[in-house]
Amino acid sequence: DSGVTQTPKHLITATGQRVTLRCSPRSGDLSVYWYQQSLDQGLQFLIQYYNGEERAKGNILERFSAQQFPDLHSELNLSSLELGDSALYFCASSVAAGPTYEQYFGPGTRLTVT
């Protein structure tokens, strides 16, 4: 158990809908990262937050947005969902955002868009 929690574990929804994925980082970690993993693919970095502020952006679509709250949990919002958005979405956390901090991953949320 990495200490990172994600809810829900599974989510099935229809095209055009909007969903929210939630992540709680490890105790003491200030930085949260979101990744997307499509079937048999590697991890694609979406976005990073550090202590409530956006720190880095990756290949995140305009239909997707995220935020980190004062209690450090984070939410990833996916809207106008398309079939191609079906994937595993992982959250990871680290103590800080510098060059020597390891990321620990949550168990993921499997999103299926039908």
Partner 1 sequence: GQQLNQSPQSMFIQEGEDVSMNCTSSSIFNTWLWYKQDPGEGPVLLIALYKAGELTSNGRLTAQFGITRKDSFLNISASIPSDVGIYFCAGQTTSGTYKYIFGTGTRLKVLA
Bridging pattern class, strands 104-105 and 109-113: unpaired
Among 13, 20, 44, 79, binds partner 1 (CB under 8 A): 44
Q: Which is nearer to partner 1, 33 or 64 (CB)?
A: 33
**Integer Cα distance of 107 and 92 in angstroms:** 9
> Helix, strand or coil for residue 84?
helix
Q: How far is the CB of 10 from partner 1 (least distance, A)?
A: 10
CB of 35 or CB of 64, closer to partner 1: 35
Spatial separation of the C-alpha atoms in residues 44 and 37, rounded to whole Å: 6
Q: Which one of 19, 21, 33, 64 is in contact with partner 1 (CB under 8 A)?
A: 33
Identify which of residues 70 and 99 has a Cβ nearer to partner 1 in the complex.
99
Q: Does 25 bind partner 1 (CB under 8 A)?
A: no
H helix and E strand count, the chain: 0, 11
The CA distance from 75 to 8, in Å, is 11
Under the rule (CB under 8 A), what is the footprint of partner 1?
2, 4, 33, 35, 42-45, 48, 55-56, 58-59, 88, 90, 97-108, 110
